[in-house]
Amino acid sequence: MERRLTMIARRITRTSRAPGAQIIAVAMGITLFATVARPGWAGEALETRQLVQQARFTLENFQADPMMGGFRDLARRARGVFVAPQLLKAAFVVGASGGSGVLVVRDEHTGQWHGPAFYTLGGASFGFQIGAEASEVVVLAMTERGVNAMLQPSVKLGADASLAVGPVGMGVEGATENLSADLVAFSRSKGLYGGVSVQGAVLGVRTAWNKAYYGKPVTPSRILIHGENAPQAEDLLATVRHFAGPRSG
């Protein structure tokens, strides 16, 4: 888009030799870019902020749910937390990605949480239970291998990193001690627990959204390992700290 606008400005300059023609051409190019290119970028920036807010609401719901004791127990030991606030069954029917999500990671040295980085989650291997049209999904990265896998451009859950379904129910906290998987997934679908299986799903980096949210090109490693600053993410990170704590273990 920027290249096309630059070419237009150059044509205007070449066709006019009057004083100030170059200044006028540049001004026209800037105006065109502002009216054509900027709205798309601004739209993505708004969508990223909305997704972060929805992810925070999902985490608050999971944290308050009496049936999610296993989630709360494991979250205190997790190295990373991925949240997809809404995976739609209809999206899988037409072959599109099921939804978008965000990943935050705990610094193993300081205990501080970094993020979010933006991803898509989808794949033909998804399995929705009968009656489940949409699901909230949270995947906890319990090991360094799990975190490293999720930092890659794409990862197949259950293949590139081992995946287990998290225990759901009252008084299941003790059952989490025997879980040794790299990733542990929890889901809810309008009160139906375990409404979707993410075994075999593909997690892919959403590069354009990372750029829109941070205002510049930035990789998941830069965001999650090196702690790229995002003041607008503080509400989400505060929610994670509230139920997962500042340190694992």
SS3 sequence of 138-190:
EEEECCHHHHHHHCCCEEEECCCECEEECCCECCCHHHHHHCCCCEEEEEEEC
The helix/strand/coil state of 196 is strand
* Residues 71, 12 share a domain: no
239 is a domain residue: yes
- Alpha carbon separation from 159 to 117, 122, 155, 167, 179 (Å, rounded): 22, 15, 8, 21, 17
* Residues 65, 148 share a domain: yes
Relative to beta strand 163-165, strand 183-189 is parallel
What lies within 8 Å, CB to CB, of 125 at 6+ separation is 199, 200, 201
* Residues 59, 18 share a domain: no
pLDDT value of position 217: 96
- Structure-block tokens of residue 43: 């739209």
The per-residue pLDDT string of the chain (249 residues; one tens digit each, 9 = 90 and over) reads 444 444 544 554 444 444 444 444 433 443 343 444 445 557 889 999 999 999 999 999 999 988 888 899 899 999 999 999 987 655 444 444 478 999 999 998 899 999 999 999 886 545 544 444 678 899 999 999 999 999 999 999 989 999 998 876 544 444 455 578 999 999 887 644 555 677 888 899 999 999 999 999 999 999 999 999 899 999 999 999 998 987 655
Last residue of a domain, one of 45, 62, 77: 45
* Residues 74, 36 share a domain: no
- Structure-block tokens of residue 88: 């739609």
Rg (CA), the chain: 22
Residue 213: in which H helix or E strand, if any? helix 207-214
* Residues 83, 7 share a domain: no
140 is a domain residue: yes
pLDDT value of position 155: 92
- Structural domain count, the chain: 2
pTM for this one? Answer: 0.76
- What are the CB-based long-range contacts (under 8 Å, 24+) for 172-177? 172/69, 172/70, 173/69, 173/70, 173/72, 173/73, 175/70, 176/70, 176/73, 176/74
* Residues 111, 39 share a domain: no
Report the candidate in 203, 206, 89, 61 with the shortest Cα–Cα distance to residue 141.
203
pLDDT value of position 205: 96
102 is a domain residue: yes
* Residues 34, 77 share a domain: no
* Residues 39, 132 share a domain: no
19 is a domain residue: yes
* Residues 238, 200 share a domain: yes
**Structural domain harbouring 9:** 2-45
Last residue of a domain, one of 12, 28, 45: 45
User: How many other CB atoms are found less than 10 A from the CB of residue 89?
Assistant: 17
* Residues 11, 89 share a domain: no
79 is a domain residue: yes
249 is a domain residue: no
* Residues 105, 36 share a domain: no
CB 57 within 8 A of CB 88: no
* Residues 179, 113 share a domain: yes
